[in-house]
Amino acid sequence: MNRSLKIFIGLAVILVVIGTLLAIRHKEELVLTPISVNGLNIQTWTASNGAKVLYVHAPQLPMVDLRITFDAGSARDAGQPGLARFTNNMLDTGAGEWDTNAITERFDSVGARYSNSTARDMATVSLRSLTDPPLLDKAIRTLAVVLTQPQFDPEELERLRKQTLISIKSQLQSPSSIASKAYYQADRKS
């Protein structure tokens, strides 16, 4: 299976699980559309909030992967290099009543793995958790707070700002970063 297909399937699974969880919580009537890709039955629907959901049921794995993809990324930094990455990285530095250590402890205590990343055209937040209901519930509740109640604490903001500036300066000297930027600029012109 090629890398693009694996990424697509991973995204599909995550989006579907999130939509399913939201639909179950809100008792929405789902109209599923089956799609088959390399033998995988991918079900799709649109949640009431407009989010597109892709779902693959794999009962042999007692875990769930969620991946939330935002229309953000370095291409949308609007003259402020690093803005999307900075914002995404600030999410787990404090949320709700928890600092970064408490957030990490909440995920660790249920064996969940939280991560985020930013690319040229998207920002993602990912969660991997066991499907045991009490463990999954705590992981999802923690993720919900991280996404909906970020603190953006001034001290953390300044620490991460300095870190981001160092990273940007490093990229300005990186041959691969320079080449990548030149490629995308040339591609945009064609």
- 101 compared with 23, residue with greater pLDDT: 101
Give percent of the chain above pLDDT 90.
34
- Banded pLDDT at 131 (limits 50, 70, 90): very high
How many other CB atoms are found less than 10 A from the CB of residue 95? 24
Q: How far apart are CA 43 and CA 32, in angstroms?
A: 6
Asked if pLDDT for residue 116 goes beyond 50, the answer is yes
29-85 residue pLDDT tens: 555 555 556 677 888 888 888 888 888 888 888 999 998 888 888 888 888 878 888
Q: Could you give all domains of the chain from N- to C-terminal order, each with its CATH number?
A: 3-180 (3.30.830.10)
- Banded pLDDT at 27 (limits 50, 70, 90): very low
